[in-house]
Amino acid sequence: MSATYKDIGISNEGPVGVVEIQRPPHNFFDNALINQIADAFEAFDRDTNIRAYVLCSQGKSFCAGADFQNRPSTGSAGEGGKHLYKEATRLFRARKPSVAAVQGPAIGGGLGLALMTDFRVTCAEGRFSANFTRLGFHPGFSLTFTLPRLVGQQKANLMFYTGRRVGGEEAYAWGMADVLVPLAEVRKAAIGLAKEIADSAPLAVLSTRETMRRGFADAAEIATERELVEQDWLRKTEDFKEGVKSYAEKRVGNWKGR
């Protein structure tokens, strides 16, 4: 691929395309980053030499979510949310199988990004958290659709309501991750799984994936529309402001219920 991107690196390992997020150490995302990943996925979809792809990242975290400290709190935030969800929907509509290499925390929207892929490889150091309510916020990035689909409604409720972090070994046992390896082997194992997929007949893989994920992207889009409605009004509350502040200060929020 000849395209260049500001915040991601693009390469390939034979028939496996690799997208590396390059915003270390925590790889916070915004509209621009999601747009670049979606562009890369769509380019891989058009490339007949690429049969599967891997999403990985530099630094300590896979993706620690959106950087609320640097996002607008009113006005354009709602429109920004709509634009972000539009870009995220492009990811869900990618045609070829994808594998996430989760070497560290996948938090909030970063968890949504990880669960967007077909498979996940992680390690004991992996951390999976839907921490939205700890921020005084509603889950987003289609997690209200994707998380229960993997771990069941009850465990999803537990993660949503408490905001707790689930370690890599527990995430593997729950079904959030498909392969568990030592930290140093996460990316290699993710590429290995993608290569194993690429060894199958490409048209048959695409056809089978289309059947297995029929309606998946549409359902994800419907979920994000609902999530956005709830996020828009919660973003204007005192609790959300306190949630962002308390989370940054690593303490329990002083909630007012308004």
pLDDT (tens digit, 9 = 90+) per residue, 76-124? 344 555 567 778 899 999 999 999 999 999 999 999 999 999 999 999 9
Query: Class assignment of domain 8-203?
Result: alpha beta
pLDDT category at 153 given cuts 50, 70, 90 is: very high
pLDDT (tens digit, 9 = 90+) per residue, 184-219? 999 999 999 999 999 999 999 999 999 999 999 999
pTM: predicted TM-score of the whole model, two decimal places: 0.93
In the predicted structure, residue 155 carries a pLDDT above the cut 80 = yes
98-102 vs 105-107, strand pairing mode: unpaired
What does the pLDDT read at residue 87? 81
What does the pLDDT read at residue 71? 53
**What mean pLDDT do residues 68-75 have?**
48
CB 45 within 8 A of CB 95: yes
pLDDT (tens digit, 9 = 90+) per residue, 19-48? 999 999 999 999 999 999 999 999 999 999
In the predicted structure, residue 75 carries a pLDDT above the cut 80 = no
What does the pLDDT read at residue 68? 62
